[in-house]
Amino acid sequence: MLRVLIVEDEPFIAEDLASMLGELGHAVTGRARDAAEALRMVHADAPDLVMLDIRLGEGPDGFAVAERLQHLGIPFLYVTSHTDAETLAHMGRTRPAGFIRKPFDEEDVRAQLAVALTRNIRTGAADLFVRDKGRLLRLPVGEVLFAEADDNYVILHTAERRHVLVATLAHMLERLGSQTFARVHRSYLVNIDRVSALHDGHVLVGPHRVPVGRTHREALKARLRIGDPGEG
């Protein structure tokens, strides 16, 4: 599931996009009608993906938003009816995850979301963005030791501090990337590269003891390429 921000100044088009995203199993974090509102929502919600119209009425256009999204490392799809050579060249320079041409249908949206998912989510992002005292901070994924579920929140543990995000553990595994992180318990993910020892019922990740559920033990052993865990 992707958390998607829609930036579109035409309410009916925004409504169509929101409906299609819902049908495809994704969540809409908000709808913005201009660049300023879009950037406020980006900083407030840190979406996985932005669906971005180029022409946004008065004020900065979608390209201005795209430049900021590039800086933040948040992928975006253009949704536009403007496909002249100049616009396409400008779009290419901003390196979008793809674009959807208006008028569109659900298959267009599905196909482009699949491309975005493959490029930016399935393989794991290089960075996450976490809120800290009203600011968005860049958190390299490799610095996360493990993730812990706490009701409707996920706590990311690094060597120096903790970061609390509104998310499910399954969604966080998508964000962190299953190539590096593994589910080891109904409430925990661990960074495989940071595991120093596997014992009976827990792993050591840095100075932390993280529990390992019975149903996850064999898969974890296979990921770590070791035999029976020791008793230490």
Residue 65 lies in a domain: yes
Residue 229 lies in a domain: no
pLDDT confidence bin for 122, thresholds 50/70/90: very low
Do 115 and 147 fall within a single domain?
no
Residue 230 lies in a domain: no
Residue 232 lies in a domain: no
Mean pLDDT, to the nearest integer, of 185-212?
94
pLDDT tens by residue, 204-227? 998 999 999 999 999 999 988 754
- Residue 41 pLDDT: 93
Mean pLDDT, to the nearest integer, of 183-196?
95
- Residue 156 pLDDT: 95
Asked if residue 203 has pLDDT above 90, the reply is yes
pTM above 0.75, yes or no: no
List C-alpha distances in Å: 93 to 4, 71, 89, 106.
22, 14, 6, 27
Do 153 and 212 fall within a single domain?
yes
- Residue 226 pLDDT: 59
- Residue 117 pLDDT: 64
- Host H or E run for residue 205: strand 202-205
pLDDT tens by residue, 11-67? 999 999 999 999 988 889 999 999 999 999 998 888 888 999 998 877 888 899 998
Q: What distance in Å separates the CA atoms of residue 229 and residue 232, rounded to the nearest whole number? A: 9
Q: What range defines the domain where residue 184 resides?
A: 129-224
pLDDT tens by residue, 70-105? 877 788 999 988 878 888 888 888 888 888 888 888
CATH of the domain at 143: 2.40.50.1020
- Residue 215 pLDDT: 94
CB 77 within 8 A of CB 109: no
Of 88, 80, 87, 72, residue with least CA distance to 9: 80
Of 87, 122, 157, the position where a domain reaches its end is 122
* % of the chain with per-residue pLDDT over 90: 42
